[in-house]
Amino acid sequence: MFSQAENFAIPNGQFLNVQGNYYLNHHTPGIYPATSTSHSETKNLVQPAGYYQGITFCPTSTSTFTGRTDTLESLNNFFFDSEKTQKAFLLFGLGGAGKTQVALEFRKRFRQKFTKIYFITADTEESIQACLFDIAIDNGLGNPQDWRSGIHWLNTHEENWLIIMDNADDPRIPLRRYFPPCEHGNIIITSRNAELQNAVGQSLELWDMSPSEGLQLLVKHAVKGPLNNVQHKHAAQIAKELYYFPLALTEKSAQTINGEKAYPVPG
Ligand SMILES: Nc1ncnc2c1ncn2[C@@H]1O[C@H](COP(=O)(O)OP(=O)(O)OP(=O)(O)O)[C@@H](O)[C@H]1O
Ligand SMILES: [Mg+2]
């Protein structure tokens, strides 16, 4: 798909370190928020496979988050209308389109409007169950029976909680089984699976960025300092060759950094 996008350069640019994925809760057991149940207490419980305390702690969006204004606006309109019912929104699209980042940015901007926010790694049923168990632990259910205790907590707490079910790509997972069967609460699902549109109230496909957002993202990742006109034009061409696609725009700049190539100024 990006075959024409090889060997690009931003002339005369200095390159910054690129931040990689930083999902602490995927990889860093032990980093978790304070809860009412201590770690030693939870060790004695029968825990689901893959569980560690704080697994549902929500990571932050990338510090170079760019654009997606319309998508964030759609999420805002959907979740903050006056209707009192459970709301589920699906962000779907190709891998690397930025679904997870949008969900995390939405959470960052509007966190004050929710009572509790939990990040559920939804790539397997095992991880969903481990996350639901953590929701029970986080809410002081000292001896939860199993993951259903987390569903029970969400179900019985008529609050404006938000759960982000991230990377629910596997069509074999019966995702709705893990929606608390109640009339309250908010759910954002990110998935590559468009079929999930049938399971939610609203959905939106994430695709490439607008040319101006794409250029902005590339420049944030790859260039230090302002660009002159020639450099600006060249960067715009590179962003176009990368189809204004977020993952390509960020990864490509990482590759050029690691390659430590020289970048002649054209013209
Ligand atoms: N709006 C954005 N601003 C800045 N960087 C972004 C943005 N969207 C995506 N990225 C970059 O692209 C990478 C991929 O984004 P993300 O993980 O959100 O994609 P995804 O659609 O969830 O992919 P997957 O289906 O593989 O989970 C991120 O690590 C981030 O570096
Ligand atoms: Mg994702």
Angle at which helix 99-110 crosses helix 69-79, to 10 degrees, equals 60
Q: What is the mean pLDDT of residues 250-261?
A: 56
97 shares its domain with 213: no
Please give the residue that has the higher pLDDT: either 59 or 38: 59
Instruction: Pick the ligand that lies closest to the CA of residue 96.
Output: 1
Instruction: Pick the ligand that lies closest to the CA of residue 193.
Output: 1
Q: What is the mean pLDDT of residues 48-72?
A: 94
94 shares its domain with 224: no
Q: Assess whether the C-beta atom of 64 lies below 6 angstroms from ligand 1.
A: yes
Q: Is the pTM of this model over 0.85?
A: no
142 shares its domain with 239: no
Using the 3D structure, point to which of 206, 222, 239 is the last residue of a domain: 206
102 shares its domain with 140: yes
Q: Return the exposure string of 37-73: e unless at least 16 CB atoms fall within 10 Å of the residue's CB, then b.
A: beeeebeebebbeebbbbbbbbbebbeebbbbeebbe
Using the 3D structure, point to which of 206, 229, 245 is the last residue of a domain: 206
162 shares its domain with 93: yes
pLDDT at 18: 28
Backbone angles phi, psi at 118, to 5 degrees: -125, 140
Any domain includes 191: yes
Atom of ligand 1 nearest to the CA of 103: 18
Cα of 63 from ligand 1 centre, angstroms: 12
**Cα dihedral sign for 248, 253, 257, 262?**
positive
Q: Assess whether the C-beta atom of 68 lies below 6 angstroms from ligand 1.
A: yes
Q: What is the mean pLDDT of residues 234-259?
A: 79
Any domain includes 266: no
Q: What is the mean pLDDT of residues 256-262?
A: 42
pLDDT at 162: 97
| CA pair distance 44, 46, nearest whole angstrom | 7
The residue to mutate among 250, 252, 253, having the most atoms of ligand 1 within 8 angstroms of its beta carbon, is 250
79 shares its domain with 124: yes
Cβ contacts of residue 205 below 8 Å, gap of 6+? Answer: 92, 93, 194
Please give the residue that has the higher pLDDT: either 118 or 146: 118
> What is the CATH number for 173?
3.40.50.300
Q: What is the mean pLDDT of residues 225-246?
A: 87
Instruction: Pick the ligand that lies closest to the CA of residue 192.
Output: 1
Using the 3D structure, point to which of 206, 229, 249 is the last residue of a domain: 206
pLDDT at 19 over 90: no
Q: What is the mean pLDDT of residues 69-96?
A: 94
111 shares its domain with 149: yes
The residue to mutate among 92, 101, 215, having the most atoms of ligand 1 within 8 angstroms of its beta carbon, is 101
What digits encode the pLDDT tens for the residues 101-139?
999 999 999 999 999 999 999 999 999 999 999 999 999
Q: Which domain holds residue 14?
A: 3-19+209-259
195 shares its domain with 124: yes
49 shares its domain with 174: yes
Q: Are 129 and 48 in contact (CB under 8 A)?
A: yes
Cβ contacts of residue 178 below 8 Å, gap of 6+? Answer: 120, 122, 128, 132, 151, 165
Q: What is the mean pLDDT of residues 135-149?
A: 86
List the shell of residues around ion ligand 2, using CB closer than 5 Å: 99-100, 167
Cα of 256 from ligand 1 centre, angstroms: 18
Domain tally for the chain?
2
Q: Assess whether the C-beta atom of 192 lies below 6 angstroms from ligand 1.
A: yes
